[in-house]
Chains A and B, each alone.
Chain A
Amino acid sequence: MSKQINVALIGNPNTGKTSVFNALTGLNQKVGNYPGITVEKKEGICKLPRGVKAHIIDLPGTYSLNASSLDENVVIELLLNKNDKDFPDVAVVVSDVENLKRNLLLFTQIKDLEIPTILVINMSDRMAYKGISLNIDFLEQKLETKIALVSTRKNKGINELKDLIANFKNLNTKPCLQASEIDKAYFDGLRKAFPNQLLYKLWLVITQDVNFGKVDRNTYESVADFKIKSKSDLKRLQQRETIKRYQFINEILKEGQTIDLKTAKDLRIKLDRILTHKVWGYLIFGIILLTIFQAIYDWAEVPMDFIDSTFASLSEWAKSVLPEGPFSSLITEGIIPGLGGIVIFIPQIAFLFLFISILEESGYMSRVVFLMDRIMRKFGLSGKSVVPLISGTACAIPAIMATRNIESWKERLITILVTPFTTCSARLPVYLIIIALVIPEGRFIGLSYQALTLMLLYLIGFATAVGSAYLLNKILKIKSKSFFVIEMPNYKLPLPRNVALTVVEKTKAFVFGAGKIILAISIVLWFLASYGPGEAFNNAETIVTEQYATANLSEAELQQKIASHKLEHSFIGITGRAIEPAIQPLGYDWKIGIAIVSSFAAREVFVGTLATIYSVGSDEEDTIKNRMAGEVNPILGGPLFNLASGISLLLFYAFAMQCMSTLAIVKRETNSWKWPFLQLVIMSGFAYIVALAAYQLLK
């Protein structure tokens, strides 16, 4: 048995680094977090020839080793810390054949750290198309490395890359240029003060705010032996370093790379003429959004109906095989309906992630950022806020993390604060079931009313987000430099494997994350709904039988009366009726009230909660939807879920801040409890007022 080889995949964004990772590891990968921070950590195992295994980490994409965000910091901290268990035996720098010049900047920096390094030139299938030819031997010699020409799309070069990784001991660790020449005297001083340290490592520690191991930059600065430079001096030196690196790169590419512009074709220009056009660009973006919403609604219907009825019969089947008793009813009335309430939304959530991942993979998302920047700036946001706002339709948590690349702190803070208004997938279950109950079927120019209502709810979410951003921009007095730069990557046909892996992984995270909460809450709710204090609950049967002694009820009707009497006097019924005065003006009964309160943990709990409450309160097995349709308003009569109460509920869920995980992430990203607290109070208060107004106007 040999030891695993630690491999770190490093590269600029948009180089297809993740495709290389997927090609190397296949399904042997897992996604977690770096300890203490929310940066995603992707790692996997790759089988190499002769039974050797490589442990591969896919590091966050970065343009250089000068970190400007939390994600990029992860890269530097790992590369500077020899004691980290993941410290790479070999670094694999992934570059894109069309952006070699820029990609090599990062490569030369990593070479300076004297880590064995392999250069992957990805998307090599596009070389002929772009008229590019490379002198690999020359480049290998000048860059002091081994090069693997890879095409993940054509599945080429992966075995060669594996061979290079397996033989990493043959790689040399010589830097390919002398960065210290930018200020000889200064670097000589450094070398003298710390003879045992790598010079480039010292330079990185001085210029960044990285803590690696137990040595922090202060110990370096406290040594009086070399002069400390001012911040602006350091910045000037970094600029000189960058120029020097580019000079080196430009020089070797002059010889090592030829581009025949006559044979080069450029689809990008043609596509961009249309897709970033001032009229067509917006129109196409609008059509894309419309298609996505229609698809989420229409395509997901069949699998959802199937799941719904499957869970209803599963409950029935469990009831028939399990011995009667509290355990059986916990399973059939608590856990199964609760889980059914979340499993049913897998198709829609998967579709949503599918579309978002296609938009990102194809390079189209950057065009949207470009198109929207000017407009978003009017509201105190950045073009880059569009990505969080769109991915917020999946989940606010990754969306808030996606704000990290917004350069200006004020624009970023506003984006974080308003993102929870966008319609996340956890609201979807609530919306869908209420829309199905209160919005009539029928079509308007080919679009169903129900799909249009859903679209409208998404629009309300966006409009509120943008509107409140406008207000925040006026209210918040934060001075911060406005700056914006975004790469416009080439258009790519998304790789099915990449898209599929993203969809599976994100859906799984959503289902298991939500599933845990829902399972716990279902069990607690079932307990609270099945037990109660005092006479009214314990003697329900005698009380109800006496009450209806003369009413001549059938046995089934009597059982039904007993069950609902029990529910009303259970722990949950008592709590529910205590809060009823607060929610009655909104058109809800105490059962909805319980569902709302429990969904402050997570919105999607709403459906599961109602499912649990209703199945405790009734005997026959039925789908959640049919149960809700059968509920009667206790005061006014008529169906409980009608247009007025339905719209009121929809609006309440559109605005209220009901997600503990989002609050936690906002706290982490803003480093203060102040912002999440304000979000909770203001959003929920606003939701209450709007829902109240809607119900009172419509009833």
Chain B
Amino acid sequence: MDKRDLVVILLIYSLALILWSLPIRSSPMPFGDVDSSSHFTQGDYIYQSNRIFDTFPYYIEQSWYKEGGRRYYPPHFYIWEATGQLAGRGEIVSSYTMILLLITLFIVSSYMLMRETLGFYPSLIGSFFLIFSMRDIMVYLWAQWPQQIAFIFLPMVLFSFYKYTAYLEKDKHDAIVYLILTSIFIAGSFSFHPQAFFECLLAVSLFAIIRIIQLKKIIYPVKHAIIAIALVLILTSPFIAGVKSYSEANGMSLSSSLSLTSLLRFYPKPHLSDSPTVFMSSYPMTYAGYWTLPFVILGIILIFLKMRDPKYMVWVVFFLSHLIMIHLKTRQFRFLAEEAHLFFPLFALGVYFIISLKQLRRFRVLLVLLTLSAIFVINGLPAFNTLHNAYSGPMRITPQQYNAALWMRHNLPEKANIGMVGPITLAKQYWIQALAMRNILIKEEERSVHSLKGFYIGPPDYFMVDYSDAILLGNRKLADKLFEFENKTLSGEKLIYNTKEVRIYKLSAINKTSNPGKRK
């Protein structure tokens, strides 16, 4: 990279910040699907309580991680969220700004790898296209933030290991710096979300093996390998036990996920049962239509044809490790979330190959500008609309729900169990819980399931009736239903929070003995 690259990549990154910040700018209330509140609240809890927890606080354990009280994932993402809040004096927007800054870094890391291996114009085209990557945008809006941030390290791991190998072959002393950076980035992929770690390890191993075969000699000193492994272990060891316990609890051991048979066959369709399939399986939705496919295929052919050159071998390794990962038996769609980081650079390589043909070479700059314009026109508008309209209107918590949640946080006991009716989506109910930092018994069927499993913590001590969604939607029927429920079930209970839209009751001992699953 030179000075021109630094300006270009920061301009592209800034354009991404402008576009991706649309959901933050459109409302001061937090956004995200069901996972979002659990990710937000862990960082928020660190900031509010001024301590980093290894065992979950009561409300988090009861609501999201019922299998056990120990935190599974390394805390790095949550520490960054809390650091954002610390810098922004506790504002929700500061936490979201930090998430935005981190999650859009995949554009920077991809540029870094492309620039080093493919040159200036392919990296310009590829990283510009990545701004509008619908798959990344959707994962950002669904709020699988730690996983997506972990994937920003894969291009960096490949970049630094490629540089390390290049320096080693030239017999330079500076090689060790890039080895240390490789180890730090591998540890980083583990620390944000462990699944990216396996792909990083696989990619580095494949690169090393193929390079050794190509050169017919072992170029990597054993001393270096020991240093690298030791550094990764130092940076990850405090968190390995948590990840291991989670994997075991969910039957996700590496041996059960990987088998030769799963690698040697194509699945009819990736296992996508717990993800909205269309954004993960639809090529045209992610890559701006089928017109990009020939260029991606051309890019794949080119990297394999030129793979004797380590610059192209990096991409072969990226391609192969991705292919292996999406053939795992479990959680394949999670790896599809980073597919665009591979396909957009391959598209750029294919396009630039055509542009660089002898007959077209003198129009090179013009054709690159035309490609960028085409990307902007075709992919820019859907990306803008998706981000601009994300979680609009009643899809976010209302200011009244937000105020009630803050009131609960400051006025109810830490181990209070709160029943709730009124909020229209599950995500909003979880958001109220996250902001209140109190356990809210959200779903009736969930309560009975927990009861069977022995996790059930008893009937609510408090009950919140929320009319704000019904008022916002102008839904008279819902408001009447809530009113009827309130009069029938909660009359005689002590009203402790009373606004026009939200009421919270403290339940008496008699009411608490009834089964909350049948309260309605």
The finding on whether chains A and B are genuine partners in a shared complex, rather than unrelated, reads: no
By a beta-carbon cutoff of 8 Å, the part of chain A in contact with chain B is none
